[in-house]
Structure 1
Amino acid sequence: MVSRYLILETSHRIGTVALAVDGAIVAERRLDEARRHARDLVPAIQELLRGQSWSARELDGVVVSSGPGSYTGLRVGLMSAKTLAYATGCALLAVPTFEAIREQAPGAGPNVDVIADAQQNHVYVQRFGTNPEPLMILPLEMWLESALAWNVAVTGPGLETLADRMPPGLAMLPEAYWHAKPAGLLGVSLPRIQLGERDDPFAVEPLYLRVSSAEEKWAQLHPRPAQQAIQTG
């Protein structure tokens, strides 16, 4: 008996919706930056399902990128995935975006760093391979020193803005590997699917190490009473 999955990748400004049967992608559709809102994502999902003559209730699972990435895009993708999983009872599998990007780059060497621009001269970085490191935020120069010392290969959306700051001795993977794709998300989730694992729709949240710039600005404009006392005391 075949298993059917919906895959949502909205961590990047260009999102992707895909359908898979067992371990193979059977349909895929890209969404431009203007179509990552919930009101646009849902019709795109419906169109893709109709194209395969599937109904939402025939899905065995929803695989969704959980970040880091576009704050708004991740929230929209996760909200849609959680709602669908709750409504249909299918499995929800949230995949860290950097793990999917690493999955797409086999044979890249013993150590691969996936990076994203964290602004203010910092990067999100996670190292995979023989010397793994967890997801963290580091000053750009500190990370570059470590990356050169460990002779890593670099990939990830951060190269869109930071490629020209990479030193000559640092290997960068081709641009085709910089962003998470449905095949990468599916590849990471398949072992969990085979074990019958699933995530709790009420517990899954976007993977972030700090608040968004919008929330930072809000906090500055609306300090808590304790903060006001410190500032005015």
Structure 2
Amino acid sequence: MRLIIEQGHPGQRQMALDEAVLILLSHDLVEETVRFWNFSPTTLSIGRFLSVRDWVNLDLLEKYKVPLIRRFTGGGPALHDERGEITWSVALRTGSVESAYQQIGEALVRSLKIMGLEGIFTPINDVVVNDKKVVGMAGAQRHNAVIVHGTFMFNTNLSLMSLIKVPKPKEMERGSASARVTNLSSLLGREVKREEALNALMKGFSEVFPLSQGELTTLELELARQLSYKYTNDKWTFLR
């Protein structure tokens, strides 16, 4: 299984690349893949089926000049702090998104344990420590292929969680985004650096998946280039 480690790229490139990997894996043209990467600049992403008006504080988004990207996967809004989180994506040949969540949840719990934290995978798609969410994930399926991606918040600027609005019924049920979410630095009482977080992810995922270092193919990069237009198009971003 291929392991790819990258630095930061704009959100449209990152979403297009994940979509390209899923499409090509569904045609058996690439390997199953684990990719660790991040958004640059800091970006807010929103799930495919959510309303921007209901879930995004557009005034603050404009104030802080944070780009907004609509994912091709479901799930809620996610803050991608370029200096405080690692985004990961896992592309598998598997029966369902839910079974992928379970495998990846185990890898994330092992990664947290390496850092001295007891994480719990809470179905459908969260990992929590001390009842605080530290990882969320979202997925999509195409034929026999699944991709799941999510965040690993090692030192996310939690004040930027105010970019996320929670509709009133959801807020009454779950609380505000800032109240439910934390980062690893806050849990450990010290500043966690990217290198430490990345090493923990590589070790934890290697205990669940048979990883070997790989590279992106020309086919993936070209398809991602073609798909990236969608993620800069307001018709897609403000679809709902």
For the aligned pair, the TM-score class normalised by the smaller chain equals under 0.3
Between 1 and 2, higher relative CO (CA 8 Å, sep ≥ 6) is seen in 2
After TM superposition, the score normalised by the length of structure 1 is 0.27
After TM superposition, the score normalised by the length of structure 2 is 0.26
